[in-house]
């Protein structure tokens, strides 16, 4: 057993699971081999985790899941975290931050409900350092942001909660230490099927039964690739008498480019820096962040940095950036859909 808290993310809108011909389908309750996906995960995770948490977006969903779980697992009483009532943090990030707030001094392993084949021996062998995260990624640079292990302490200042953030990789982009575990290496060393990391989608017909491995073997995890940056948790905040622009440039010098961008947004929002300063700081921060992730072979995160330029700095939108975005999407195999 591990002291890490396993958190099942079950608070979304299940958009990929909807069929126009039938009523709304809750992804977590979609049957797989006559068992709801949520029950499938809970059933197998109980062998590896003492503390299992389920993240939901409403009390009503919590009560529904409790009823279903009691039918299949009468003795199991999970912890639930209902999303904080926060209209400014959105999407899956709302669930992630709600859980990280509840368990401030615990390691948290997240998992979505639609990974019925995941090998928990893999997840529990991922490690993090203080203030870091453990990420599963492919050689292409695509990551699994919803399978991330978070260490503590976490850098996410209260000020950032007013910025309408929503992407699952926000905390990853702010982390001071990343452990990157190559999925293909893990599968090859342990002779595991790629289906271990398959999710299922009723629209694509990918929920057919496959042979599920037995989680009783000893899993070998190759050493992770590490990315280290300055820890910002002890950074001294500027007072009104200090220069906020210089504060942001100090963060840039520490290679925490996404943090510098978010601080510039916060200070602009509160009229503490000028629009011109924000434009300059945001441009420098996001372009350097994109290059930083490219230098570390994580084009998925580089793509998000470039998309932020288009969204938040439309004056910087140009043919070169659009071509870079198109190229990264092609490299990652996601040309036809938006990355969230």
Q: What pLDDT is attached to residue 23?
A: 53
* Tokens found for residue 306: 């470039």
pLDDT tens per residue across all 340 residues of the chain: 678 999 999 965 444 444 555 554 678 888 887 889 999 999 999 989 999 999 998 899 999 999 999 999 888 888 999 987 666 787 889 999 999 999 999 999 999 998 888 999 999 999 998 889 999 999 999 999 999 999 999 999 999 999 999 999 999 999 999 999 999 999 999 999 888 898 875 444 444 444 454 555 689 999 999 999 999 988 888 876 678 999 999 999 999 999 999 999 999 999 999 999 999 999 999 999 999 999 999 999 999 999 999 999 999 888 999 999 999 999 998 864 443 3
DSSP summary character for residue 131: T
DSSP letters of 153-195?
Answer: S----GGGGGS----TTHHHHH-SEEEEEEHHHHHHHHT--GG
pLDDT at 25: 67
Q: Where are the domains of the chain?
A: 2-228, 244-332
Among candidate residues 174, 140, 169, 139, the one with its CA nearest the CA of residue 157: 174
What predicted TM-score, i.e. pTM, was given to this entire model? 0.89
* Structure confidence at residue 198 (pLDDT): 85
pLDDT given at position 67: 92
Q: What is the C-alpha to C-alpha distance for residues 30 and 13, in angstroms, rounded to an integer? A: 13
Instruction: Put the strands of the sheet holding 225-228 in their side by side order.
Output: 79-82, 49-56, 2-9, 108-112, 149-150, 132-137, 177-182, 225-228
**CATH 3.40.50.300 holds for 2-228:** no
The H or E element spanning position 304 is: helix 299-312
pLDDT at 75: 85
Dihedral of alpha carbons 167, 171, 174, 176, sign:
negative
The residue count of the chain comes to 340
Which two three-digit tokens encode residue 206? Answer: 């990918």
Tokens in use for 49?
């985790």
Query: 263-308 pLDDT, tens per residue?
Result: 999 999 999 999 999 999 999 999 999 999 999 999 999 999 999 9
Q: What is the pLDDT of residue 85?
A: 67
The encoded tokens of residue 82 equal: 């209902």
pLDDT of residue 338: 43
Determine the Cα–Cα distance for residues 217 and 34; give it in Å rounded to an integer.
Answer: 26
pLDDT (0 to 100) of residue 130: 85
């Amino acid at each position: 057993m591990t002291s890490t808290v396993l958190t099942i993310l079950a608070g979304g809108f299940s958009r990929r699971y909807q069929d126009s011909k039938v009523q709304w389908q809750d992804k977590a309750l979609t049957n797989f081999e006559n068992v709801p996906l949520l029950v499938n995960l809970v059933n197998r995770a109980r062998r590896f985790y003492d503390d299992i948490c389920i993240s939901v977006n409403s009390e009503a969903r919590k009560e529904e899941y409790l009823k279903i779980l009691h039918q299949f697992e009468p003795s199991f009483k999970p912890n639930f975290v209902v999303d904080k009532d926060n209209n400014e943090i959105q999407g899956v990030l709302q669930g992630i931050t709600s859980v990280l707030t509840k368990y401030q001094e615990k390691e948290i392993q997240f998992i979505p409900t639609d990974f019925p084949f995941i090998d928990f021996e893999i997840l529990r062998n991922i490690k993090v350092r203080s203030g870091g995260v453990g990420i599963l990624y492919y050689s292409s640079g695509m990551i699994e942001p919803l399978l991330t292990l978070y260490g503590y302490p976490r850098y996410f200042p209260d000020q950032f909660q007013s910025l309408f953030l929503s992407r699952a990789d926000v905390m990853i982009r702010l982390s001071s230490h990343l452990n990157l575990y190559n999925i293909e290496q893990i599968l090859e060393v342990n002779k595991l099927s790629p289906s271990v990391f398959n999710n299922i989608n009723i629209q694509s017909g990918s929920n057919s039964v496959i042979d599920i491995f037995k989680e009783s073997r000893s899993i070998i995890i190759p050493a992770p690739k590490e990315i280290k940056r300055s820890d910002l948790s002890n950074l001294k905040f500027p007072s009104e008498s200090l220069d906020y622009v210089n504060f942001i440039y100090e963060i840039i010098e520490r290679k925490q480019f996404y943090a510098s961008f978010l601080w510039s947004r916060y200070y602009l929002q509160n009229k503490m820096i000028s629009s011109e300063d924000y434009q300059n700081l945001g441009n420098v921060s996001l372009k350097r962040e994109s290059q930083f992730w490219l230098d570390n072979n994580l084009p998925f995160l580089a793509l998000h940095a470039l998309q932020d330029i288009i969204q938040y700095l439309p004056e910087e939108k140009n043919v070169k950036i659009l071509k870079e975005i198109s190229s990264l999407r092609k490299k990652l195999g996601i040309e036809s859909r938006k990355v969230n």
